[in-house]
Amino acid sequence: MAISNADGDLVTRERKMKKIEDDWRPSLRKWRTEREHKIYSSKLLEALRRVRSSTPETQGLRRSRVIREAADRALAVAARGRTRWSRAILSNRKLKLKRRRPAPSSLQSTFTAAGDRHQSTSKTNRSPILERKAAVLGRLVPGGRKLSFPMLLEEASDYIAALQMQVRAMSALATILSASGGTPPEGERSIT
């Protein structure tokens, strides 16, 4: 029971905090797994091939935008519809083409409603500065405009994790495609 015990306790606490944190938010780790990466890459390839076959002659901006939207849609599909931003992407782009998932959305909406009720009973939400920043973030995250602040943060965290995976996958793909277009680089190891 010396002072050193306190330090050890701190380490233990940090470890435990991490473990407890991971217990209730395991969802973010899935965006870093190899499996998700492969799933997304294959979906991306499919989408790219479709784009390539559908509009082979369009150049420049239009093509890149189409590709970007296809990539976003593939990412949203990879999210399996459990997050709000993925549903927003899919509902915006493929109107009525993809079947909605009413169960999770209703659950989410009820939870959001409960959260809003909490908010309404409490005092002032945030300072106006924070409100403004939250609004900006809501505009950035697809489907995040009418979200409450904690829900917005949760959506943003999942969205950021998914975006990171998307960037990694697309950069790998771009490097491979550009590499195999020319001579295969032998020493190229890093794809970032």
Map the footprint of other proteins across residues 1-20, applying CB under 8 A: 1, 3, 5-6, 8-10, 12-14, 16-17, 20
C-alpha distances in Å from residue 66, one per residue of 50, 81, 95? 11, 21, 16
User: In the complex, what is the shortest distance from the CB of residue 64 to other proteins, in angstroms, rounded to a whole number?
Assistant: 4
Minimum CB separation from other proteins for residue 20, in Å?
Answer: 5
Interface map 79-118 toward other proteins (x if CB under 8 A): -------------------------------xx--xx--x
Q: Which stretch binds other proteins (CB under 8 A): 48-56, 76-84, 87-95, 97-105?
A: 48-56
Mention every residue, 6+ apart, whose C-beta is less than 8 A from residue 87.
76, 81, 100, 101, 105, 143
Residue 45 in the binding site for other proteins (CB under 8 A): yes
Q: Is 141 in the site for other proteins (CB under 8 A)?
A: yes
CA quadruple 135, 141, 146, 151: dihedral, nearest 10: -100
- Burial of residue 60 (CB within 10 Å: 0-12, 13-18, 19+) is exposed
